[in-house]
Amino acid sequence: MQYLLMIYSDDQALEAAGPEVMPRIVAEFDAYTEALQKAGVLLGGERLHPAEMTTTVRVSGGKTQVLNGPYADTKEQLGGYYVIEAPDLDAAIAWAARCPGASYGTMEVRPVWAM
* Contact in structure between 7 and 83 (CB atoms under 8 Å): no
**What is the C-alpha separation between 97 and 10, in angstroms, rounded?**
18
Report the predicted TM-score, pTM, of the whole model to 2 decimal places. 0.87
Distance CA 85, CA 93 (A): 12
Position 10 confidence tier, pLDDT thresholds 50, 70, 90: confident
What per-residue confidence (pLDDT) applies to 28? 95
Note the pLDDT of residue 67. Answer: 86
Of 13-22, 29-38, 83-92, the poorest mean pLDDT is in 13-22
Around Cβ 92, how many Cβ atoms within 10 Å?
Answer: 24
For the chain, count helices (H), then strands (E): 4, 6
CATH of the domain at 73: 3.30.70.1060
List the alpha helices (DSSP H) in the chain.
11-16, 22-39, 89-98, 101-104
The CA dihedral of 57, 59, 63, 69, to the nearest 10 degrees, is -20
Which pLDDT does position 54 carry in this prediction?
A: 86
Q: In this predicted model, what pLDDT tens digit does every residue of 58-73 receive, in sequence order?
A: 899 999 999 887 666 6
Give Cα 90 to chain centroid, integer Å: 19
Q: Which residue has the higher pLDDT, 75 or 36?
A: 36
pLDDT of 62? 96
Over its C-alpha atoms, the chain yields an Rg (Å, rounded) of 16
State the total domains in the chain: 1
Closest by Cα among 94, 70, 82, 96 to 43: 82
By residue range, what is the domain housing residue 51?
2-111
pLDDT bucket at 18, cuts 50 / 70 / 90: confident
pLDDT > 70? residue 13 = yes
